[in-house]
Amino acid sequence: MNKIYLSDTDKKIAGVFGGIGERFGLDSTILRLGYIFVGIVTGIVPAIITYLIALLIIPSKPKRNKA
């Protein structure tokens, strides 16, 4: 089972949408634009709170040791 991780390479703020895009094979730019659109339509403050919650609950990618 694949998990969602914060992206190390595709990030603008914290890597939330980059990680979601990597997990589901979607373009992170499209995800960001959709989120901004939904945030403007429904309210800026709930969108910011949702992003912060996602930032707190999505783990960072585990580092792999090269042996």
Band of residue 67 on the pLDDT scale cut at 50, 70, 90? low
Q: What is the mean pLDDT of residues 1-18?
A: 88
Q: Helix, strand or coil for residue 6?
A: strand
Written as six digits, the tokens of 35 are 């989120």
Domain ranges of the chain: 17-57
- pLDDT tops 90 at residue 65: no
pLDDT tens for residues 18-61? 999 999 999 999 999 999 999 999 989 999 999 999 999 999 88
Rounded distance between C-alpha atoms, residue 42 and residue 46, angstroms: 8
